Amino acid sequence: MKQLYWIDDNFQQVNYIAQGAISKLWKLEDIDKEEIASKILIFGNAYKVADTDELPTEENEREVYQKLQDLFMEECQKHDGPSKDRPMYNEKKVLIQDPISYLYKREVSGDLEAYKKMKGAWISENLDDKNSENYEKAAREAGLLIERMKIKPASVVGIDIALLHDDLERLRQKRRILSMELCHQILSAHIRCFMYSTEADDDILRKNWEEMYGSFYDNEEIKIYKRSDLMQKGNDDIVKEIDQMFEKEQKDEVQDNGKDNVG
């Protein structure tokens, strides 16, 4: 089973992707097709009206887990029909065994401090100079955050551009933001990565962001998708593109192994 991660700050929005790309990648139309399991990792506050430090609860996590499970069950129901054995469901239920994780939770001690620290590091000034103390600190925090995500090797990661409050404003001012740093660090660990955003509907904006990313990280290339393309009435080509990323990933891995052998 291939593993895909979605990093977002808001379940409501990622739920639209669940109704679109995520459920399409389950490939429930054919029991033999190799499916892609999605795991949604949630943290941040870009979608909130005000800048708050309020963390979601375990109850919130349970609710949205239920939501995903219901979506999955209903999707399977379309193929299983009245069959009481529910072959599709039973075969593929592994896909939603662990579909969601809130990275910082109210009940977990130390989470709030860690969240504030991470956030504080990323909203501070002077992050643009990669040699600055502030950036070093912020990059360290991003590293710690990636550790929390427990991303498996050979998976693909999609990251929402705006994760923290005012991220879009920072982008407008051409300042470094957290999501891009996450993307960079994940890519550096040889894991495929793409980004997406609701605001990426504006082609010029999207292009600017892609260029900006290159300027921050030594011309590294990044693909940014529109969120609407990943939704129910979205663009199936993009879903295919994501699917193909896994194949590339495998090839890369083979090549890397080969190199190791040579070495």
Give the integer Cα–Cα distance in Å for 65 and 14.
Answer: 12
8 A C-beta contact, residue 180 and residue 149: no
Task: Based on the shown chain and the rule CB under 8 A, indicate whether residue 63 belongs to the binding site for another protein.
Answer: yes
**Number of residues located near another protein, criterion CB under 8 A:** 35
Q: Select the span of 30-38, 137-145, 155-163, 164-172 touching another protein (CB under 8 A).
A: 164-172
Residue 180, C-beta contacts closer than 8 angstroms, at least 6 positions apart: 161, 195, 212, 213, 216, 217, 222
Task: Based on the shown chain and the rule CB under 8 A, indicate whether residue 60 belongs to the binding site for another protein.
Answer: yes
Task: Based on the shown chain and the rule CB under 8 A, indicate whether residue 166 belongs to the binding site for another protein.
Answer: yes
Task: Based on the shown chain and the rule CB under 8 A, indicate whether residue 64 belongs to the binding site for another protein.
Answer: yes
Could you give the count of Cα atoms lying within 13 Å of 230 in the half-sphere of its Cβ? Answer: 27
Give the integer Cα–Cα distance in Å for 196 and 177.
Answer: 14
- For 119-170, the DSSP string reads HHHHHSS--SSTTSHHHHHHHHHHHHHHHHHTPPTT-EEEEES--STTHHHH
Among 165, 176, 184, 192, binds another protein (CB under 8 A): 165
Cross-strand bridge partners of residue 100: 40
Task: Based on the shown chain and the rule CB under 8 A, indicate whether residue 54 belongs to the binding site for another protein.
Answer: yes
Task: Based on the shown chain and the rule CB under 8 A, indicate whether residue 247 belongs to the binding site for another protein.
Answer: no
Q: Which is closer to another protein, CB of 71 or CB of 242?
A: 71
Task: Based on the shown chain and the rule CB under 8 A, indicate whether residue 11 belongs to the binding site for another protein.
Answer: yes
8 A C-beta contact, residue 46 and residue 165: yes
8 A C-beta contact, residue 213 and residue 220: yes
Q: Which is closer to another protein, CB of 3 or CB of 13?
A: 13
Q: Select the span of 31-39, 79-87, 150-158, 202-210 touching another protein (CB under 8 A).
A: 79-87
8 A C-beta contact, residue 4 and residue 41: no
Query: What is the closest distance, in whole angstroms, from the C-beta atom of residue 221 to another protein in the complex?
Result: 29
Residues 218-237 contacting another protein, CB under 8 A:
231-233
Query: What is the closest distance, in whole angstroms, from the C-beta atom of residue 48 to another protein in the complex?
Result: 5
Give the integer Cα–Cα distance in Å for 122 and 164.
Answer: 8
Q: Which residues bind another protein (CB under 8 A)?
A: 10-13, 15-16, 19, 42, 47-52, 54, 56, 60, 63-64, 66-67, 69-70, 73-74, 77, 81-82, 84, 165-166, 169, 231-233
